[in-house]
Amino acid sequence: MTQDPNARSEIEPTEVGANAAETGERRLTEEHSPETPDTYGSHEIGIEDLDFATLAEQGHTATELDPDAPAVLTVDNLKMYFPVKSSGVVRRTIGHVQAVDGISFEVPKGGSLGLVGESGCGKSTTGRLITRLYKPTGGSMMFDGQDLAKLSSREMKPLRRDVQMIFQDPYTSLNPRHTVGSIVGAPLEVHDIVPKNQVLKRVQELLEVVGLNPEHYNRYPNEFSGGQRQRIGIARALTLNPKVLVADEPVSALDVSIQAQVVNLLQDIQAEFDVAFLFIAHDLAIVRHFCPEVAVMYLGKIVEIGDRETIYGKPHHPYTQALLSAVPDVKQAAVGGRRERIRLEGDVPSPINPPSGCRFRTRCQFAQEICAKVEPPLLQIGKRHKVACHFAGELGSHPATPITTELLGVDDQGSPVPGATPTNTQHTIPGYEKTWYDLRTKQTTGV
Amino acid sequence: MTSVPMTQSSAADRDAHDGPYLQVEDLKVTFPTQDGPVTAVQGLTYSVEKGKTLGIVGESGSGKSVSSMAVMGLHDAKSAQISGSIRVGGTEVVGLSESKMRDLRGNSMAMIFQDALAALHPFYKIGGQLEEAYLVHHSSASKRDARRKAIEMLDRVGIPQPDRRVDDFPHQFSGGMRQRAMIAMGLINDPSLLIADEPTTALDVTVQAQILDLLQDLQREFNSAVIIITHDLGVIAEMADDVLVMYAGRCVEYGTTKQILTAPEMPYTWGLLSSIPDVSASTDARLIPIPGNPPSLLRPPSGCSFHPRCVHSDKVPGDLCSTQLPELLPASSGTAHLKRCHLADPVGVYQSEVLPEIAPELVDELSEETR
Amino acid sequence: MFAYVVKRLISGVLVVTLVSIAIFLLFWYGPSSPAQPICDRETSNRCSAAKLEIYERTLGYDNPVYEEYGKYVKGIFVGRTLTIASNEYDCSAPCLGLSFRTKQPVKEELVSRIPATFSIAIGGAFLYLLFGVPIGVAAARRRGTVADKALVSSFLFISSIPYYLFALLTWLYLTITFEVPFFSDTGYFPITQDGPFKWFSGLFLAWVALGIFGCTQYTRFTRGAMVEALSEDYIRTAKAKGLPTRTIVYRHGLRAALVPVVTIFGIDFGTLLAGTIFTERIFEVQGIGWWSLEAVQGRDLPVVQATALFSAVVLIISNLLVDVVYSVLDPRVRLS
Ligand SMILES: Nc1ncnc2c1ncn2[C@@H]1O[C@H](COP(=O)(O)OP(=O)(O)OP(=O)(O)O)[C@@H](O)[C@H]1O
Ligand SMILES: Nc1ncnc2c1ncn2[C@@H]1O[C@H](COP(=O)(O)OP(=O)(O)OP(=O)(O)O)[C@@H](O)[C@H]1O
Ligand code: SF4
Ligand code: SF4
Ligand SMILES: [Mg+2]
Ligand SMILES: [Mg+2]
């Protein structure tokens, strides 16, 4: 039994939904309780006297990268295989869902790493591994000198304070039978860190931080709107002053105008409390705004990782390129019609039986023989840029011959060259090296 | 099963009228509820021509679905009071008898819904559901014809091996394939009006792109009028010819896509544009939310329904914003562009205040243009 | 599917075996010697220790329990000869023992009583489905109207009455107070002997009691399932296709609503088939339910054992059928 209060209440079903389904009548009043005063931002400002300049001031520009920040969380070769069982009395394991298969990355202190990719690529699983809702099959997760992957649930308990999670659905992740005060205060009591009579004070403080009226601590979640509920979820995650927050699709269940409120709040919180974020989302534009560094996942693996400018400006992996070109762009209105885009055919293959070699090859327009034979290593090709593709290159200038042959000791078709000495193993370090392989010069270069 | 005269109406018949294929005028939809009447849509006027796409945007609860369902006649007559006029291919559908309405539905106009898994019946095969849609409007067709037609449509929307997949159940399809099947079902009777209510909201961007491509190809092929409802201004930008922005049941801005997305004149539209980040925007652009929450339709705000959340109302003299509902009037960029706002110089405010914050790179372009 | 059924049947046999062992042990290690009841009966309650010993020895109750259980199981497959006191009785396969009371093989009486129980069960279930489901559908379509509310609350009232009380009142009013002609002479009269009319009139009141009571429950189940189904997105889709209301309600709505109703029905029907104690007792139908009641009262252990085993078998089979039907009704359910 885990001690994580988040985990517990996420499983609690809401009664509200069930009632509505049963009566068949739509409830009108719950969505926006009129007696709840509208609050905005981290400081209680009545909208009445809010003018555009003040509002704009509170809106944030995209978060900037701090290249010198040390890593607070280092994930190395992390794996999560879910067993697939046969049915029947004796349930044999007949295969594994390779939900996360050897990913490595660093989350910088007070920074944020974005995790993007199609549905089912393992983003949530990664988040759940870091918060240790699952125990990893392999790999390590170094936090504060300790390997989270190796700790038992009991040893994990004190560390749970430091690694917290914000859930996607503000409607199901809060227990409808508990007041906001007890939801936000629960972690304090579980971890026994402030005296009982101080809990309320801390709760009110937190509610104020997330822009809710502190007097509302004894209300129930259904008296709040979706955006306000997500604020409650954020307050709960902040209760214990975490160092790392895993935000799994924190805004995708919210209305567009409310999304921006919550993203700004998260940016405020990051600046004020110096929390590091692992920010999971499938909305590439939100991730671009919130995360100076982004990892792109495909079928359990990171295929490209780098800073915002590189990933969005000159992606080198065919999948990243396809993903980005699929995003509809508001700017297109000025031109009219649809953008030219790379069409990805077919569906993501099953993670139980992923394709050999490069997992993307079944949908990749550049795939060649080598792609089926050898898995491309996640190769550092820039100061803060790694990509896993034999034919990595900017859109329109993918090389004709594989760039990885020398490193892997194979020929252009992917067959091992006798006598060759591979210089690169499949395994790369979680962070960035001082030197990297330059695609143009085909040389190892550095700063 | 169905009365004969309307069912086999040829495309020529349906085209035999002038003007836009769909014309909505002063539409009002009210639901009596325990807490009092809820007016979900009011004073809504728009039109869509064949071959054109209208995008409808707005927050959750702004009446996008309710208004489109009124066009399809999907509201329960007992629980919804509808007034105004909706003409589909020249036929007035407000007050039309249920049996006549039934002949239009799925035949001259079709609707596809957001969650295809929930919108397809879990217990019937995909093929069966398509055939049913075909047969109900082609009473003389045989089961064999219907099946052939179903396979043909599945093929048309890009389902691989349609002759085999036609016998699959919805749960055996992937999310994207289910949405394709929904589209195939909507288009099986070659409707002149297609309403897509958030057709891609639950899908991955890659799948979304496939579906949008498909919708656009099909529209070209069938020359139908399309309404696309979405939260995503990017989808609007790439798909729509015209845009209707809804707030609290009313149209607050209406115009061509270019007008609405590049020269909006209403603070709510500004708010929508400023509250979404863009994949290609400058990283200096600010993300400026719309403060507060959407209004309650039970007790709608007085005057301009956006006024409790509007950060520009201080530029309107007196308390006009909170006392008087602005008319939907032509905007400065052209007569086809309508807006509902008291601001005297919206263009000035947008260019000098809003744009520098949300798209700093565009300001320079703009100043170059004007020079 | 086939493999699934076989698997389920095997586990069913396992369960029946366990049930039979449990029952066997229960009366073997019960508060008094298993031979006590028959000894009491045969000696008109003057069972001395010596006499009890004779009964125990002849019935084999002095042997180890597993040995006797083995004989019991063997008897089911090949038959056996049973000795009570000094008399030998032949009990052919499948032998479930001899009734202490009649000294007849239990199996024969069981078989002779099945038609009565099944007649009640099938007739009652037929009635409650016939009325319950359509009334439920009609109520769901008129959800929220005065008629619907009146119906739902009156049916709720009826189903809150304990069933035995309800059946007793039905019987009292219809036979004693009103003396409804033809139907007041309740009981089971085999069609083959007394003709269909007698069979029908004998069981009619039992069916009515079961039918009305079940109907109130099934109306509520159906209404609930139907309200839910009619609010699903696929109903809106069906409407948007231009289908006629009848098709929407029955082909799309009812088809989905039936799944939970059929599931509940399968379990209920199994319970009915296993014997309806109250109905049979009140309407004097010589079925399995009443028989088991008598056996318990008369401590006729072999009969208790046989009826319990029979219920287990019927319930297991009906559960299996429910699962199979469920998978046929809902294609998302794969049996494997
Ligand atoms: N508890 C589990 N048992 C078995 N398989 C699982 C489990 N959780 C996730 N998976 C599988 O692992 C894969 C990755 O799932 P995950 O939820 O991490 O994806 P995701 O990237 O978060 O997708 P989405 O964008 O849809 O949330 C999927 O194929 C999923 O089916
Ligand atoms: N049958 C009904 N009875 C009462 N109120 C209703 C009914 N249907 C819709 N409404 C109300 O009408 C309003 C408009 O709803 P609608 O579904 O059109 O919103 P929408 O713009 O489509 O939002 P979303 O983006 O969430 O789909 C909502 O406030 C809703 O609660
Ligand atoms: S390694 Fe080959 S298949 Fe994989 S992305 Fe690169 S080119 Fe495509
Ligand atoms: S009318 Fe007033 S409140 Fe309404 S949008 Fe215009 S400025 Fe804002
Ligand atoms: Mg996820
Ligand atoms: Mg809607």
Which domains does chain A carry?
5-58 (no CATH), 71-85+94-297 (3.40.50.300), 323-445 (no CATH)
- Element of type H or E holding A190: helix A180-191
Tell me the chain C residues in contact with residue B111 when contact means C-beta distances shorter than 8 Å: 240
Residue among A178, A233, A226 nearest A15 (CA): A178
Residue nearest to atom 19 of ligand 2 (CA): B61
User: From CA A265, how far away is CA B291, in angstroms rounded?
Assistant: 12
Residue B326 C-alpha, separation from nearest chain A C-alpha, in angstroms: 19
Q: Using the predicted structure, report yes or no on whether residue B2 has a pLDDT greater than 70.
A: no
User: From CA C8, how far away is CA A34, in angstroms rounded?
Assistant: 56
Lowest mean pLDDT among A69-73, A155-159, C27-31, C114-118: C27-31
Ligand 3 nearest atom to the CA of residue A358, by list position: 4
Query: Which chains does A contact via 3+ CB–CB distances below 8 A?
Result: B, C
Q: Do A330 and B286 touch (CB under 8 A)?
A: no
Strands A163-166 and B81-88, bridge-based pairing: unpaired
- What dihedral do alpha carbons C235, C238, C242, C246 form, nearest 10°? -70
pLDDT digits (tens, 9 = 90+) for A229-265: 888 999 888 888 899 999 998 888 888 878 888 899 9
User: From CA A121, how far away is CA A125, in angstroms rounded?
Assistant: 9
Pocket of ligand 4 (CB under 6 A): B 266-267, 304, 306-307, 310, 312-313, 316, 321, 326, 341-343
User: From CA A283, how far away is CA A304, in angstroms rounded?
Assistant: 17
Mean pLDDT of B8-23: 64
- Dmax over CA atoms of chain B, in Å, equals 70
Out of A389, A398, A405, A408, give the residue to mutate to test ligand 3, the one with the largest number of ligand atoms within 8 Å of its CB.
A389
HSE at residue A292, side-chain half, CA atoms within 13 A, is: 20
Q: Which residue has the higher pLDDT, C163 or C229?
A: C229
Q: Using the predicted structure, report yes or no on whether residue A425 has a pLDDT greater than 70.
A: no
Q: Does residue A446 belong to the interface with chain C, where contact is any CB pair within 8 Å?
A: no
pLDDT digits (tens, 9 = 90+) for B311-320: 999 889 888 9
User: From CA A385, how far away is CA A380, in angstroms rounded?
Assistant: 6
* 3 state SS of A173: coil
Q: Do A88 and C224 touch (CB under 8 A)?
A: no
- Report the pLDDT value the prediction gives residue A16, as an integer from 0 to 100: 32
Strands B22-33 and B193-197, bridge-based pairing: unpaired
Residue C287 DSSP symbol: S
pLDDT digits (tens, 9 = 90+) for B177-207: 999 999 999 999 999 999 999 998 878 888 8
Q: Using the predicted structure, report yes or no on whether residue B308 has a pLDDT greater than 60.
A: yes
- Report the pLDDT value the prediction gives residue B224, as an integer from 0 to 100: 93
pLDDT digits (tens, 9 = 90+) for C167-198: 888 888 887 777 777 777 788 888 888 888 88
Q: Does residue B6 belong to the interface with chain A, where contact is any CB pair within 8 Å?
A: no
Beta strands in chain C (DSSP E): 80-84, 87-91
Structure tokens at A54: 């003040």
Q: Using the predicted structure, report yes or no on whether residue A29 has a pLDDT greater than 60.
A: no
Query: What superfamily would CATH give domain C109-299+317-329?
Result: MetI-like (1.10.3720.10)
Tell me the chain C residues in contact with residue A22 when contact means C-beta distances shorter than 8 Å: 224, 227-228
Residue nearest to atom 29 of ligand 1 (CA): A120
Q: Using the predicted structure, report yes or no on whether residue B168 has a pLDDT greater than 80.
A: yes
User: From CA A382, how far away is CA A176, in angstroms rounded?
Assistant: 49
For ligand 1, whether the C-beta of A134 sits within 6 Å is: no
What value does the CA radius of gyration of chain A take, rounded to a whole number of Å?
A: 24
- Report the pLDDT value the prediction gives residue A157, as an integer from 0 to 100: 84
* Angle CA C321–C326–C331, to nearest 5: 140
Q: Do A329 and B299 touch (CB under 8 A)?
A: no
Q: Which domains does chain B have, with CATH numbers?
A: 19-240 (3.40.50.300), 260-370 (no CATH)
Residue C103 backbone phi and psi in degrees, to 5? 60, 15
Smallest Cβ–Cβ distance between C237 and the set B103, B113, B169 belongs to: B113
Query: Which chains does B contact via 3+ CB–CB distances below 8 A?
Result: A, C
User: From CA A237, how far away is CA A184, in angstroms rounded?
Assistant: 8
- Report the pLDDT value the prediction gives residue A48, as an integer from 0 to 100: 61
Ligand nearest to the CA of A115: 1
For residue C144, the chain A residue with the least C-alpha distance is: A23
A18 burial level (CB within 10 Å; 0-12, 13-18, 19+): exposed
Pocket of ligand 3 (CB under 6 A): A 318, 358, 360-361, 364, 366-367, 371, 376, 389-391
Residue among A189, A184, A220 nearest A204 (CA): A184
Q: What is the residue type of A120?
A: G
Straight-line distance from the first to the last Cα atom of chain B, in angstroms, rounded to the nearest whole number: 67
Out of A361, A370, A386, give the residue to mutate to test ligand 3, the one with the largest number of ligand atoms within 8 Å of its CB.
A361
Q: What is the pTM of this model?
A: 0.85
Residue among A50, A28, A30, A29 nearest A41 (CA): A50
Contact B218, B187 (CB under 8 A): yes
What confidence category does residue A282 fall into, taking pLDDT thresholds of 50, 70 and 90? confident
What value does the CA radius of gyration of chain C take, rounded to a whole number of Å?
A: 24
Contacts of A163 (CB under 8 A, 6+ apart): A73, A130, A131, A132, A143, A148, A242, A243, A244, A245, A246
pLDDT digits (tens, 9 = 90+) for B102-160: 999 999 999 999 888 999 999 999 999 999 999 999 999 999 999 999 999 999 898 88
pLDDT digits (tens, 9 = 90+) for A403-423: 888 888 888 888 888 877 766
- The alpha carbon of B65 and the centre of ligand 2 are apart by a number of angstroms equal to 7
- Report the pLDDT value the prediction gives residue B163, as an integer from 0 to 100: 92
Q: Does residue C262 belong to the interface with chain B, where contact is any CB pair within 8 Å?
A: no
What pairs with residue B243 in β-bridges?
A: B55, B255
Contacts of C60 (CB under 8 A, 6+ apart): C67, C68, C71
User: From CA A219, how far away is CA A212, in angstroms rounded?
Assistant: 12
Ligand 4 nearest atom to the CA of residue B252, by list position: 5
- Report the pLDDT value the prediction gives residue B17, as an integer from 0 to 100: 65
- The alpha carbon of C332 and the centre of ligand 5 are apart by a number of angstroms equal to 23
Domain positions in chain C are: 2-106, 109-299+317-329
For ligand 2, whether the C-beta of B250 sits within 6 Å is: no
Residue nearest to atom 6 of ligand 1 (CA): A82
What percent of chain B lies above the pLDDT cut of 90?
Answer: 63
pLDDT digits (tens, 9 = 90+) for A104-133: 999 999 999 999 999 889 999 999 999 999
Give ipTM to 2 decimals.
0.86
For testing contact with chain C, the best of B93, B107, B121 (most C CBs within 10 A): B121
Structure tokens at B197: 């209510």
User: From CA A59, how far away is CA A148, in angstroms rounded?
Assistant: 36
For ligand 2, whether the C-beta of A28 sits within 6 Å is: yes
User: From CA B82, how far away is CA C281, in angstroms rounded?
Assistant: 60
Contact A128, A115 (CB under 8 A): no
* Angle CA B39–A253–B285, to nearest 5: 100
What confidence category does residue A190 fall into, taking pLDDT thresholds of 50, 70 and 90? confident
* Angle CA B207–B210–B214, to nearest 5: 140
Mean pLDDT of B209-236: 92
B290 burial level (CB within 10 Å; 0-12, 13-18, 19+): buried
SS3 content of chain A, % helix, strand, coil (to 5): 30, 20, 50
Mean per-residue pLDDT over chain C, rounded? 87
Contacts of B146 (CB under 8 A, 6+ apart): B130, B131, B134, B135, B138
pLDDT digits (tens, 9 = 90+) for C82-129: 877 778 888 887 888 888 888 888 888 899 999 999 999 999 999 989
Out of B38, B113, B251, give the residue to mutate to test ligand 2, the one with the largest number of ligand atoms within 8 Å of its CB.
B38
Mean pLDDT of B68-78: 91
- Report the pLDDT value the prediction gives residue A17, as an integer from 0 to 100: 32
Q: Using the predicted structure, report yes or no on whether residue A313 has a pLDDT greater than 90.
A: yes
B221 burial level (CB within 10 Å; 0-12, 13-18, 19+): exposed
What confidence category does residue C237 fall into, taking pLDDT thresholds of 50, 70 and 90? very high
pLDDT digits (tens, 9 = 90+) for A345-393: 777 888 889 999 999 999 999 999 999 999 999 999 999 999 999 999 9
Ligand 4 nearest atom to the CA of residue B267, by list position: 5
- Report the pLDDT value the prediction gives residue A243, as an integer from 0 to 100: 92
